Amino acid sequence: MIIYMDENIPKHLAEGFHILQNPEGIKSGYPLKVKYIPTDFGKGALDKDWIPKLGELKACVITRDLNINRRKHEIELYKKSEIGVFFLKGASKKAGLSVWEMVKILSKHWNDISKAVHENNRPFAYEVTYRKLKRIS
């Protein structure tokens, strides 16, 4: 299984989670490759281009682009492409996230994210905040 991080998340965070996930995923029974969208699909790749490609790979994505879940055509696209989406959110609509905040949120919920990637039928979407991992579709 593959989970991508989009370009709204730093590349070194995706690389770090890949390094950590590889041996831990094997031990937990939920192996994952963590990849970075700009590395595989180019910097500035449009959602309408990479979403179907993730569908072909049966992959999921972690994104900070909350507009994907607000734009009707993008909601339809991720559902049609049958991908899983994890929307990484700060404490408020205006709150940005530092790299360390992203690390805290993702590391707190990583086991549940890994489990969701393996056990849920796609398409699906989750909201990921420090407090909770909540399925939203």
Q: Where are the domains of the chain?
A: 2-135
Residue-level pLDDT at 93: 64
Residue-level pLDDT at 118: 95
pLDDT exceeds cutoff 90 at 94: no
Q: How long a stretch of residues is the chain?
A: 137
Quick one: which of 31, 30, 37 has its CA closest to 15? Answer: 37
Which helix (H) or strand (E) segment holds residue 125: the answer is strand 124-128
Residue-level pLDDT at 68: 77
> Does the domain formed by 2-135 have CATH 1.10.1240?
no
More confident residue, 26 or 88: 88
pLDDT exceeds cutoff 80 at 124: yes
Query: What is the pTM for the complete model shown?
Result: 0.93
Please tell me the distance from the alpha carbon of residue 122 to that of residue 137, in angstroms, as a whole number: 10
Place of tokens 């890949």: 18
Please tell me the distance from the alpha carbon of residue 49 to that of residue 7, in angstroms, as a whole number: 14
pLDDT exceeds cutoff 80 at 91: no
Query: What are the residues whose beta carbons fall under 8 Å from the beta carbon of 52, sequence distance 6 or more?
Result: 77, 81
